Amino acid sequence: MGTLHLVRHGQASFGAEDYDQLSDLGRRQCERLGAYFRGKGQRFDAVFTGTLRRHRQSYEGIAEGLGGLPAPSVLPGLDEYDSESVVRAIHPGEIPPPHSPEAVRHHFRLLREGLLAWMAGTSQPDRMPAHADFVAGVADALARARGQAEGQVLIVSSGGPISTAMGLVLGLAPEAVVDVNLRIRNSAVTEFHATPKRHSLLTFNTLPHLDSPDLAGWITYA
């Protein structure tokens, strides 16, 4: 039996013009995770990432801290949904930039509503697949990971694909998948036991590499 380690990317650039770029903190989070893996003697037999820049940068940060990783297989099925398109599909009016606590809360309320509408098929965000196709991409990535079921596999992706994987493995309702999605922290690790036929949950949303009082400020969500 092997283990699949699903890692959400480090902190990106929430509220900036280009979100798809790790912040300095995001890079440090990933390097710290790699160093944690190195300290445990953890090695990986295969790595999968999405196509996004923040996925690649997170992979590079983990590899630097760990001292090396296998070259990743890059799968579009591990890419995140477009949160702006999800929101605009149900709220075409002006949305205040998320530069205040209330604006951030408003953004995530709209995101939750938009995700549920997309999952129910009552909205179709621009430049995005139907939700069933999004799920199929994640299912394909899990199937590829099961091809390495006797080894240690790393997936570096985003909250949407990771929560979708949780939904597939645990049979979660859409509302629960969205709740999981919105709770996944930057650089957090979720682990599945793997056999050639199935995955089963081992841990969810852990930050063992940041488990220290002096690193409390490194724990981020957006």
Two structure tokens written together for 176: 């629960």
Residues 123 and 135 in one domain: no
* Domain end call among 127, 162, 194: 127
Residues 193 and 104 in one domain: no
Residues 73 and 140 in one domain: yes
Instruction: Tell me what pLDDT residue 204 has.
Output: 98
Residues 209 and 151 in one domain: yes
Residues 72 and 153 in one domain: yes
Instruction: List per-residue pLDDT tens for the chain, 222 residues long.
Output: 799 999 999 999 765 566 789 999 999 999 999 999 999 999 999 999 999 999 999 999 999 999 999 999 999 999 999 999 999 999 987 877 777 888 888 888 999 999 999 999 999 999 999 999 999 999 999 999 999 878 999 999 999 999 999 999 999 999 999 999 999 999 999 999 999 999 999 999 999 999 999 999 999 998
Say if residues 167 and 179 touch (Cβ distance below 8 Å): no
Residues 119 and 134 in one domain: no
Q: Could you tell me the residue range of the domain that residue 151 belongs to?
A: 2-80+129-218
Return all residues near 68 (Cβ < 8 A) that are at least 6 apart: none
Domain total in the chain? 2
Question: Which pTM does this prediction carry?
Answer: 0.94
Residues 65 and 113 in one domain: no
